[in-house]
Amino acid sequence: MASRNKSLLVVIVHLLVVFTAIMIPACAQLTTDFYEKSCPQALGLIRSAVARAINRESRMGASLLRLHFHDCFVNGCDGSILLDDTDTFTGEKTAIPNLNSVRGFDVVDEIKSTLNEKCKGNVVSCADILAVASRDSVDLLGGTSYEVLLGRRDARTASFNDANTNLPTPFFSSSQLVSIFESHGLKLKDLVVLSGGHTLGLARCVNFRTRIYNETNIDSNFKASRQKICPATGGDDNTTALDGTTPAKFDTAYFKGLIGSKGLLHSDQELFKGDGGESDSLVQYYNNNPKKFYKDFGDSMIKMGNMNVLTGNDGEIRMNCRKVNN
């Protein structure tokens, strides 16, 4: 009888192990100490490189954050956005949401080259570089740090078509924004808090011209000042701060601007309509609670950074972030 009970217990334990393995998502394979043995200096090297890049150009912090976001929203956080086009391959860089928009590729190249040398081999993935560099950008520009889970591997392909369909645009409505975030497993709270990343960086005239000339839910003084920067025709590449005031400081100016009808992009102002909805409440909450914004931003970045990652034997670790290994 005892032997039978013991056998039954073994079967139950085995089933629990199998069930647990099925239920735990791929991101569970990521760890905070992934490079502790293979290259313990990796995170410090990335941070130093990001700091140098931001010192050269304060806008670069926003660019690195944007790279990670645009990478993750197209088939997961796999470094696919970094792949250059070739004669036989069209990647994501020239897709409409990325063309003349995403930048910072040279900084990623610099980081990867340094890591390959200092780690004595091809150890750190390009996808992990993007995740860590975006975190360090936020921290260095006034936000707070958060622990990035590591161990992503790089994709061997990219999708021009998916980049055109899976990324939100500056012209999206609130329902479109909610829908595309939900399709990636992200909630309204994640949408609002991650949109707060627009507290950093600049936007091109071509992306906010329609708002400042055709929309009515916009502060008149803000509208007039932006029309001086962005004429009705021409000047597509003229830029201004996304949050209206402090493009190189991670703060809550973005949310304050939305409450005052000073959202630069149509998609930004869609998050605050003044109707007392849940999105309005979240914007007001983060405007009044900077520390909660910093904390929740980190939490949502971790959540986003774990979307559809490649781990184990999937994908590869690229020697050069711009092309797949031979």
Please identify every residue annotated as catalytic: 70
Alpha-carbon span 155 to 315, nearest angstrom: 5
In the three-class reduction of DSSP (H, G, I as helix; E, B as strand; rest coil), residue 201 is classed as coil
Q: Which of 201, 35, 37 minimizes the C-alpha distance to 132?
A: 35
Segment (H or E) for 206: helix 205-214
Query: Burial level of 100, CB count in 10 A (0-12/13-18/19+)?
Result: exposed
Alpha-carbon span 169 to 1, nearest angstrom: 66
Burial 44-70 (b: 16+ CB within 10 A, else e): ebbbebbeebbeeebbbbbbbbbbbbb
Q: Which residues, 6+ apart, have CB-to-CB distance to 213 below 8 Å? A: 227, 232
Alpha-carbon span 216 to 196, nearest angstrom: 23
Q: Decide: 102 and 70 in contact? Cβ < 8 Å.
A: yes
Alpha-carbon span 134 to 141, nearest angstrom: 11
- In whole angstroms, how far apart are CA 242 and each of 19, 106, 180, 206, 208? 46, 23, 21, 13, 10
Q: Which residues, 6+ apart, have CB-to-CB distance to 202 below 8 Å? A: 59, 62, 239, 240, 241, 242, 247
| CA angle in degrees (0–180, nearest 5) for 315-317-322 | 100
